[in-house]
Amino acid sequence: MDINAVKSAYRRYAPGYDLCFGPILDQGRRKAVAKMNCRPGERVLEVGVGTGLSLPLYESSVQVVGIDISPEMLERAEVLRERLCLGNVAALKEMDAERMAFPADSFDKVVAMYVVSVAPDPVRVVNEMRRVCKPDGELFIVNHFRHPNRLMGFIERLVSPLSNMIGFKPDFSLDEFLRKTQLDVLERMPVNFFGYWTMLRATNRK
């Protein structure tokens, strides 16, 4: 995946994204926000916020900032913020998650839902998530990882040369991701249909 391929994939997806990926990925979003268990006044960063489908799930006492590389996805998040009067959504910014403009230790919790297998360099994304998250804050990642079933894994490998076109890597390995990021995982939970996706909760030890 390269960043231009990501931008062009999500330019194409933006108009139909909510219809296609709204309900299918909804449970993962809800479980992640519930697990975040945010306290009033906490600051949350949503990396790859997309069309903002998760934004209404936060309590109004929690301040949320969203970033995304795709202006077309963000435009829809902005419309949603205005339509639902989400005053707690402090900002929606066009920004590369691999090079964030925030100072270190800016957020209590940082979450990336369905993003790490889309971004060109997932390790850099996680390193940036760590940097902008406060020490002992929490990081949340929801994603599909390579399926352990041999047939499913084979199909995912078969489709993987099309990653740039489909806008994500279908055979993204969890073991490799954890080895390279050295995430301090506290909890791992299957989410969505047949547990095909995984939610990770990690502590941000610095």
Ligand X SMILES: C[S@@+](CC[C@H](N)C(=O)[O-])C[C@H]1O[C@@H](n2cnc3c(N)ncnc32)[C@H](O)[C@@H]1O
Distance CA 139, CA 137 (A): 7
In whole angstroms, the minimum distance from the beta carbon of 86 to ligand X comes to: 15
Taking CB under 6 A as the rule, does residue 48 contact ligand X? Answer: yes
Cα–Cα separations (whole angstroms), residue 75 to 52, 64, 69, 82, 159: 9, 16, 11, 11, 30
Number of residues that bind ligand X (CB under 6 A): 23
Contact 73, 10 (CB under 8 A): yes
Q: Which of 33, 86, 118, 191 binds ligand X (CB under 6 A)?
A: 118
DSSP secondary structure letter of residue 148? S
Taking CB under 6 A as the rule, does residue 119 contact ligand X? Answer: yes
Distance CA 195, CA 206 (A): 31
The secondary structure element, H or E, covering residue 71 is helix 71-83
Q: Which of 36, 113, 126, 139 binds ligand X (CB under 6 A)?
A: 113
Which span sits near ligand X by CB under 6 A: 43-51, 84-92, 129-137, 180-188? 43-51
Give the residues lining the site for ligand X (CB under 6 A). 6, 10, 21, 25, 29, 48-50, 53-54, 67-70, 73, 96-98, 113-115, 118-119
